[in-house]
Amino acid sequence: MNVHEYQAKGVLKEFGVPVSRGVAILKASDAGAAARELGGPLWVVKSQIHAGGRGKGKFTEKEAGDEGGVRLAKSVAQVEAYAAQMLGKTLVTAQTGPAGKQVNRLYLEQGANIAKEFYLSLLVDRATSRVAFVVSTEGGMDIEEVARHTPDKIVTFSVDPATGVMPHHGRAIAKALGLSGGLAQQAETLTAQLYAAFIAKDMAMLEINPLIVSGEGQIMCLDAKISFDSNALYRHPDIVALRDETEEDPKEIEASKHDLSYVALDGAIGCMVNGAGLAMATMDIIKYYGAEPANFLDVGGGATKDKVTAAFKIITADPQVKGILVNIFGGIMKCDVIAEGVIAAVKGVGLEVPLVVRLEGTNVELGKKIIADSGLDVISADDLDDAAQKIVAAVKKA
Ligand code: GDP
Ligand code: MN
């Protein structure tokens, strides 16, 4: 689960991490008072969307002005003007996709004087099964570009979970960033704070870009992006409360209500499959035959008729979907139960695109008979290969 920058900074502040003072703004009319309360001489007006690259982003509306999604203001009046320009407008960044995202919240911060910009992140490194730090002196920029062109400017190491974060980790970061004296000490303290926050809140990723040294000699986190491990949210009600559903795909929200594993994708073929492995194999074979899946959807091993219906509704409600492939292996669940679920779903929600059903496993003959006898316009398939070819052909013809 992702949160907004201002929420991420709120979480980090609990651990003592140095961030600028700021106020979240929902109405442009609140901006002036908030700016006066923070005090100048410099403010930063920051668009809050679940995507990076805001500084270099562009608004689609003319009234929003030519500047990006992060703006420096030198007066209260300028803060007010920027807030009025940005709120409610659509910001397109390298990470939002061409449609962009509507800016419904701003974060107004006291502006910092930047002397140096660095990059710092923590993530779960699957290769070592440890939390890893990634740091670079090349902050403020696209870290993927740094990795591509000057990989030697990125320093990475992981932390042994048995010892946790140690003073030598902090020293390694200070050294990688070329810091000494008091700044090195600040970096060491920050290293321990960030690690503590990462572990305590079950984060999957924490990215600070830029981490800065201010003109006053303070280390500060000017930006913060956090992804929390969704599987651990049950033990963090404070984090769940930060969820902003307007930033999420409504189809994915609906799927999570029915306990379906669903990820929306860009293609035209909607997939309903049981088991994550089979779902991935299904997506692969759709691609192999020259089409693209519209989603990943695992209805789970013990899917009920209700779950199958909910899944069907989500798939058919997606205007991108030009055909549906149901690929179910009846193991714990019997094929006849699935066939009845599919028919009930089709009757309930209607069907305007071709539907290919491939069933295999327990009671497969009965399942096929139920579908054949249903009178519905369903294309039956014998195996995965056959099913993929049939749905790709049907979609190309339509
Ligand atoms: P992003 O573009 O979405 O990553 O948003 P950031 O929060 O990183 O802001 C973009 C850029 O704005 C940063 O890289 C900084 O260069 C600049 N910026 C952000 N906050 C401040 C600030 O307090 N003072 C100054 N001078 N620049 C800032
Ligand atoms: Mn940033």
CATH code of 127's domain: 3.30.470.20
Q: Which residues pair with 136 in a beta bridge?
A: 119, 154
Is the CB of residue 110 below 6 angstroms from any atom belonging to ligand 1? no
Active-site residue, selected from the candidate residues 119, 138, 262, 360: 119
What's the one-letter identity of residue 136?
A: S
Report the half-sphere exposure of 367 (CA within 13 A, side-chain side): 26
Q: Which atom of ligand 1 is nearest to the CA of 55?
A: 2
Return all residues near 29 (Cβ < 8 A) that are at least 6 apart.
none
Asked if residue 212 and residue 120 are part of one domain, the reply reads yes
Domain finish residue from 204, 239, 274: 239
Q: How far apart are CA 52 and CA 5, in angstroms?
A: 10
Q: Domain range holding 50?
A: 21-110
Asked if residue 191 and residue 96 are part of one domain, the reply reads no
Asked if residue 325 and residue 227 are part of one domain, the reply reads no
Q: Assess contact for 228 and 1: CB atoms under 8 A.
A: yes
Is the CB of residue 140 below 6 angstroms from any atom belonging to ligand 1? yes
Tell me if 241 is assigned to a ligand binding site. no
Which of 3, 44, 50, 95 for mutating ligand 1's site (highest number of atoms within 8 Å of CB)?
A: 44
Report which DSSP code applies to 151.
Answer: G
Tell me if 209 is assigned to a ligand binding site. yes
Residue 149 lies in a domain: yes
Is the CB of residue 103 below 6 angstroms from any atom belonging to ligand 1? no
What are the strands, taking DSSP E only, across 278-342?
Answer: 295-298, 323-330
Q: Closest Cα partner for 221 from 15, 1, 385?
A: 15
Residue 69 lies in a domain: yes
Asked if residue 299 and residue 200 are part of one domain, the reply reads no
Q: Closest Cα partner for 10 from 179, 197, 188?
A: 197
Q: How far is CA 282 from the centre of its chain?
A: 23
Asked if residue 332 and residue 199 are part of one domain, the reply reads no
Tell me if 323 is assigned to a ligand binding site. no
Residue 13 lies in a domain: no
Helices 250-257 and 305-316, interaxial angle, to 10°?
Answer: 180
Active-site residue, selected from the candidate residues 5, 138, 188, 207: 207
What's the one-letter identity of residue 327?
A: N
Is the CB of residue 220 below 6 angstroms from any atom belonging to ligand 1? no
Residue in this structure with the two tokens 């503590």, named with its chain if needed: 196
Q: Which atom of ligand 1 is nearest to the CA of 5?
A: 7
Residue 37 lies in a domain: yes
Residue 4 lies in a domain: no
The pLDDT of residue 85: 98
Report the half-sphere exposure of 319 (CA within 13 A, side-chain side): 0
Q: Provide the number of structural domains found in the chain.
A: 3
CATH number at residue 50: 3.30.1490.20
Asked if residue 272 and residue 198 are part of one domain, the reply reads no
Q: How far apart are CA 94 and CA 144, in angstroms?
A: 12
Domain finish residue from 239, 262, 278: 239
Overall pTM > 0.85? no
Parallel/antiparallel/unpaired status of strands 295-298 and 355-361? unpaired
The pLDDT of residue 356: 95
With b for 16 or more beta-carbon neighbours within 10 A and e for fewer, the 178-203 pattern comes to ebeeebbebbbebbbbbbbbbeebbb
User: Taken in order 174, 175, 178, 184, is the CA torsion positive or negative?
Assistant: positive
Question: What size, in residues, is the chain?
Answer: 398
CA of 276 relative to ligand 2 center, distance in Å: 34
In the residue annotation, 207 being an active-site residue is answered as yes
Asked if residue 298 and residue 169 are part of one domain, the reply reads no
List the alpha helices (DSSP H) in 159-249: 167-176, 181-200, 237-240
Which residues of the chain fall short of a pLDDT of 70? none
In the residue annotation, 340 being an active-site residue is answered as no
Is the CB of residue 218 below 6 angstroms from any atom belonging to ligand 1? no
Asked if residue 69 and residue 120 are part of one domain, the reply reads no
Residue 71 lies in a domain: yes
CA dihedral 257, 262, 263, 266 (to 10 degrees): -110
Q: Assess contact for 199 and 213: CB atoms under 8 A.
A: no
Domain finish residue from 95, 110, 125: 110
Q: How far apart are CA 33 and CA 218, in angstroms?
A: 27
Asked if residue 260 and residue 212 are part of one domain, the reply reads no
The pLDDT of residue 338: 83
Is the CB of residue 343 below 6 angstroms from any atom belonging to ligand 1? no
CATH number at residue 253: 3.40.50.261
Which of 58, 141, 223 for mutating ligand 1's site (highest number of atoms within 8 Å of CB)?
A: 223
Q: 339-389: per-residue pLDDT in tens? A: 888 888 888 888 899 999 999 999 999 999 999 999 888 998 989 999 999
Tell me if 105 is assigned to a ligand binding site. no
Asked if residue 384 and residue 323 are part of one domain, the reply reads yes
Residue 129 lies in a domain: yes
Is the CB of residue 222 below 6 angstroms from any atom belonging to ligand 1? yes
Residue 92 lies in a domain: yes
Asked if residue 205 and residue 122 are part of one domain, the reply reads yes
The pLDDT of residue 250: 86
Asked if residue 144 and residue 93 are part of one domain, the reply reads no
